[in-house]
Amino acid sequence: MRGVTFLGDRKLELAEFPDPTPGPRDIVVEIKASGMCGSDLKTYRAKEGAASLGFGKVSGPLIAGHEPCGVVAAVGSAVDERTARIGARIMVHHYAGCGTCRHCQTGWSQMCSNGTVVYGTTGHGAHAPYMKVPAYTLVPLPDELSFTTGAAISCGTGTAYQALRRMNLAGGDNIAIVGQGPVGLSATQIAVGMGARVIALDVSAARLARAKEFGADAVIDPKADDPIAAIKTLTHGAGADLALDTSGAPDGRLTAIRGTRAWGTVCFVGEGDNVTINVSPDMLRKQLTIIGSWTFSTVIQADCARFIADNNIAVDHLFTDRWKLEEAEEAYRLFDRQTSGKGVFLIN
C-alpha cells in the first residue's frame, strides 16, 4: 500500500509500505477518513529528521495522520468477538501504550508510564489505506455518524469536548473561546449544544463567520477591539464564567485569564509557547481556577461521539477540504497557509 510520509522542511511523499497484518492482540483498520490536524503541521514543517513533538526519536519513514476512522478489516488471533468484528465501524484512540499501567487501564494511554506511541509521530498513522492498532484502543462509531465526523472526534473535536467536561460547563454559563480553528470551532458547537452562551474570539473574519454559523452568540476580533473590554461589555462588566484558550498564543491565554470573572475557570488546550501573568491581580485575588487539558481517554471519546450523535452537532461542517491521498502535497500546502478550515483524506 502507499502512505503519506513527511520528509521535513514542508516536503512529503506517497511512499510504498507493506500491507499491515495484525499481531495476536491487534486489529487492522481499513481507513475511510483520515483527518488533518494542526499538530501535523509541526511535523510537516520540522527540519529534516527532527523529533518535533518531544515524543522521542523516529526511525525510518513513518506514515502521517492521527485522526483515523474506518472499519475493522482484520482481527488478531487473541482478540475476542466483543472487542472487534470484521466490518464494524470504528474510530481509534490515537495513541498506544503498554496496556497494563494505570493510565492505559483507565483509557489514557497517551500518559502511559512505559512510554506512549503517537500515530503519525512515533508510530504509523492513518494517511494510508490500512493501519494496525491494538484492539483495546478501538472506539465504536455510532451508526448516525459519518466517517469524517469520526475522524474529527478522534482528535480535535474530542479534545474540545473533554476540555468542556473538565471545566464543568453547565447550560446557562457563558464561555469565551479564544481561537476558532478546528478545536475552537468544535468547542463552540459543543458548548452551544450544552446550552452555554458562547463568545468566540479569532483574528480571522472567515473563522468568526463560521463561529456565528455554529451558534456563537457574539464574536470578537482582538485585532479590531480590546478583547478583554469587549468580553466585559458582553457580560455586564463581570467577565466570562469560563474561558477556553485553543490558540496556544501568549496573548490568547492572557485574554482568557483577564476576560474571566472572579471565581471563574480558565482552561488551556492550545499547545506550546508560554504565558506570563501577574499572579495577584490575574489569578490569586480573583480566586481563579486555571487548568490544562490534553486530549481525552477512550471512554470520553465514546461519550463525545454519543453526545455529537444525540444532539445532532454538525461536525461534518468543520471540513472545508476533502482530498484523495494522491493530492496530499496540495492538501498540506494549502493547510500550511492556515487560511482554510479543516481538511480530511477520504480513502478506500
342-346/26-35 β-pairing: antiparallel
Q: How far is the CB of 236 from Zn ion (least distance, A)?
A: 37
Q: How far is the CB of 113 from Zn ion (least distance, A)?
A: 5
Query: With respect to Zn ion, which residue has the nearer C-beta, 62 or 254?
Result: 62
Instruction: Pick the binder of Zn ion from 62, 64, 90, 112 (CB under 5 A).
Output: 112
Position 78: which residue type? A
Does residue 97 touch Zn ion according to CB under 5 A?
yes
DSSP for 239-278 reads -EEEEEE-S--HHHHHHHHHTEEEEEEEEE-S-SS-----
# chain residues binding Zn ion, by CB under 5 A: 8
* 202, 182 Cβ separation under 8 angstroms: no
Of the candidates 123, 107, 208, the residue with the CA atom closest to the CA atom of residue 158: 107
Query: With respect to Zn ion, which residue has the nearer C-beta, 39 or 149?
Result: 39
Does residue 104 touch Zn ion according to CB under 5 A?
yes
- 5 membership: H or E segment, kind and range: strand 2-8
Q: How far is the CB of 37 from Zn ion (least distance, A)?
A: 3
Does residue 101 touch Zn ion according to CB under 5 A?
yes
Alpha helices in the chain (DSSP H): 38-45, 102-105, 147-153, 156-166, 182-193, 205-213, 227-234, 250-258, 279-282, 298-310, 328-337
Piece of 20-28, 150-158, 240-248, 326-334 that binds Zn ion (CB under 5 A)? 150-158
Instruction: Pick the binder of Zn ion from 118, 155, 160, 220 (CB under 5 A).
Output: 155
Instruction: Pick the binder of Zn ion from 5, 39, 148, 255 (CB under 5 A).
Output: 39
Query: With respect to Zn ion, which residue has the nearer C-beta, 73 or 96?
Result: 96
> In the complex, which residues of this chain contact Zn ion (CB under 5 A)?
37, 39, 97-98, 101, 104, 112, 155
